[in-house]
Amino acid sequence: MTEIQVGQSGDSFSINERGRTHNFLFSDIERIYGEKKDRITYDEIELGLEFLDGNTFWIKELETGFQALVLAIQESVGSFPPDWYAMVEVTDPGSTTTLWQRGDR
């Protein structure tokens, strides 16, 4: 199971998956994507965080700490759309929506 933790200072977060911890700064995010996945019995929303180094991490809405991460993103990147969930929810499964990119601050 993946667990997300936002740093106390609000400028960083970590993702712990399969026993490995990855640490990130919000200032290193290049682009944020949203995608709806068809899980047969339900749809699941994921956020893709693309970083300056080109790596992208996908985070599922059911993962521990997801809501805290979204709140921290909204505070950190400024122009992240408040209705992002609805924007992704109305798309076809498998469609990727760019929600924010560097320069939108």
pLDDT value at residue 65: 94
pTM of the shown model: 0.89
Helices (H), 1-105: 66-76, 84-89
Q: Are 38 and 93 in contact (CB under 8 A)?
A: yes
All structural domains of the chain, each given as residue ranges with its CATH number in brackets, are: 3-101 (2.30.29)
Collect all residues with Cβ–Cβ distance below 8 Å to 4 and sequence separation of at least 6.
13, 14, 15, 16, 59, 63, 64, 65, 66, 68, 69
CA distances in angstroms from 74 to 19, 68, 95, listed in the order given: 27, 10, 22
pLDDT value at residue 102: 87
pLDDT value at residue 77: 85
Q: Which pLDDT tens digits describe the chain residue by residue (105 residues)?
A: 789 999 988 899 999 988 999 999 999 999 999 999 988 888 899 999 999 999 999 999 999 999 999 999 999 887 899 999 999 999 998 899 999 998 865
pLDDT value at residue 104: 60
